[in-house]
Structure 1
């Protein structure tokens, strides 16, 4: 079984100087791929000096785009994705691979609360984990962790679904659950990153809010649309009951709310069919 380790990197020269020697010592036979996402520092040079295969972009395309480029280029049967900023311990790759050998198709390194980058990020990730667990019916311990081991052939089935931004872990995890590929979690320690984070609270907060809706639409759209349609229907029913008792009439607002309930439910049905066709095509 050949192993490929992919590290997306944007201005991570400092982190790579720490990570790559430890990675080579932990996995001496692994193919190391550093995807330089339009860096303006010495990221590409440092990666090459430590023997990694470097894939460089002329400009920044995003973390997810780097993951996709690396996955297409990797020759290994198993791919490990990890950060280049020193947060992930290369020695933790072995537990991920051991768990993968038990019959899983994806194994995710799960952080505890101390491994979260701040209280707001920890609270947001806890909410995402709860929502994903409700959607899938399985316990999701860390939906957004970027440290994971996957079977390459399974992962490439979903490359076209992955966004170019920061939500590739969410998308790939939900895609594996949706396709009945077993997923497991292994607890990992997380160190403080070297250098500056590329996440911005306001900008990426909006993006992560969209992840909530993407979780639902990727896995089971009706689980999102059906409760929304029911809410509109109950609001319409309640308003109709009020106007009937006070004015003895059926108002335009009640008609609007009932119509919205029907429209939202039908959109959910269409989305469910599109989702089914998408995964059927992948299979």
Structure 2
């Protein structure tokens, strides 16, 4: 049986860890449990010591993704399970994720249902991300941003250099696995209401999550983003030319600008595609 490491990034989640860590230890006594303390100012260290689990502490907050990377580097298990430390994820679901992994998959993600979304806005945003990522990859992606997942350690570590230090590590790792032809599966889960206050700020993080949409495309196949944009610019140039020709009988600078933009965007897409290929080449 493969050795299991359970990694929990935590920032001021002591209130949830007091209840969660004993449940994890009881459910998986043989597992290595690592709490990555991301600059917490509460009793996270004391909670870990009381539960007898490993606590990797940072002197300051580096971000959720940074905590995931630190935990993955320190873990000794062949299988890594990542889960939130805020009480949303049920330890009982680990067995279900592991069971699916044993069927030959390289990553198994816990897919939340609509009732598990924090609010309507987050639910709609996640639905949009799932739809867009599914269209780009050609695979049904049920939950792009879920942080509850089981992965094969050797394959996950191939992409540590791609993972951001912020909150979008689930998106990056999922797209990287699909891009490298590693098998990904989803298991339905029910996420509970978190203990304490969320670290996500709607206004500040709204733009950050919007950037995820562009990152989805650029991580997998940049041309699928840049070619449609190039076609749009070219089409706008044609429409403007048709309008000005019918009314003034001439070609305007705006049409030329649109056509130039179409060419530039297309060339940027080609360069981005080559960069993406080089990024994944050592893993293909």
The two structures have a TM-score, normalised by structure 1, of: 0.99
> Whole-Å Cα distance in 1 between the matches of residues 71 and 239 of structure 2?
54
Does the residue aligned with 2:92 lie in a helix, a strand or coil? Answer: helix
**RMSD in angstroms over aligned alpha carbons?**
0.6
Note if contact 2:86-2:196 (Cα within 8 Å) is conserved in structure 1.
Answer: yes
**Aligned match of 2:23:** 22
> Whole-Å Cα distance in 2 between the matches of residues 142 and 151 of structure 1?
19
Does the residue aligned with 1:161 lie in a helix, a strand or coil? Answer: coil
**Alpha-carbon shift at residue 248 of structure 1 (Å):** 1.1
**Aligned match of 2:7:** 6
1:176-255 → structure 2 map (5 Å cutoff): 176-255=177-256
**Aligned match of 2:115:** 114
> Whole-Å Cα distance in 2 between the matches of residues 150 and 178 of structure 1?
16
**Aligned match of 2:50:** 49
1:123-162 → structure 2 map (5 Å cutoff): 123-162=124-163
Alignment deviations for residues 154-200 of structure 1 (CA, whole Å, 9 cap, x no partner): 00000011010100000000000000001000001111110110000
**Alpha-carbon shift at residue 242 of structure 1 (Å):** 1.0
**Alpha-carbon shift at residue 281 of structure 1 (Å):** 2.5
Does the residue aligned with 1:180 lie in a helix, a strand or coil? Answer: coil
> Whole-Å Cα distance in 2 between the matches of residues 27 and 136 of structure 1?
35
> Whole-Å Cα distance in 2 between the matches of residues 48 and 67 of structure 1?
20
**Alpha-carbon shift at residue 121 of structure 1 (Å):** 0.4
> Whole-Å Cα distance in 1 between the matches of residues 186 and 257 of structure 2?
46
The answer to whether 1:74 aligns with 2:75 is: yes
> Whole-Å Cα distance in 1 between the matches of residues 3 and 64 of structure 2?
24
> Whole-Å Cα distance in 2 between the matches of residues 5 and 264 of structure 1?
43
Does the residue aligned with 2:161 lie in a helix, a strand or coil? Answer: helix
Does the residue aligned with 1:55 lie in a helix, a strand or coil? Answer: strand
> Whole-Å Cα distance in 1 between the matches of residues 80 and 139 of structure 2?
23
Alignment deviations for residues 99-138 of structure 1 (CA, whole Å, 9 cap, x no partner): 0000000000000000000000001000000000001101
**Alpha-carbon shift at residue 237 of structure 1 (Å):** 0.7
> Which structure 1 segments of 5+ residues have no match?
none
**Alpha-carbon shift at residue 246 of structure 1 (Å):** 1.1
**Alpha-carbon shift at residue 244 of structure 1 (Å):** 1.1
Does the residue aligned with 1:187 lie in a helix, a strand or coil? Answer: strand
The answer to whether 1:87 aligns with 2:88 is: yes
Does the residue aligned with 1:160 lie in a helix, a strand or coil? Answer: coil
> Whole-Å Cα distance in 1 between the matches of residues 32 and 134 of structure 2?
34
> Whole-Å Cα distance in 2 between the matches of residues 137 and 192 of structure 1?
32
Note if contact 2:180-2:283 (Cα within 8 Å) is conserved in structure 1.
Answer: no
> Whole-Å Cα distance in 1 between the matches of residues 199 and 283 of structure 2?
32
The two structures have a TM-score, normalised by structure 2, of: 0.99
Q: What is the aligned length?
A: 283
**Alpha-carbon shift at residue 260 of structure 1 (Å):** 0.1
Does the residue aligned with 1:244 lie in a helix, a strand or coil? Answer: helix
> Whole-Å Cα distance in 2 between the matches of residues 5 and 118 of structure 1?
27
Does the residue aligned with 2:239 lie in a helix, a strand or coil? Answer: helix
**Alpha-carbon shift at residue 47 of structure 1 (Å):** 1.1
Does the residue aligned with 1:90 lie in a helix, a strand or coil? Answer: coil
Does the residue aligned with 2:80 lie in a helix, a strand or coil? Answer: strand
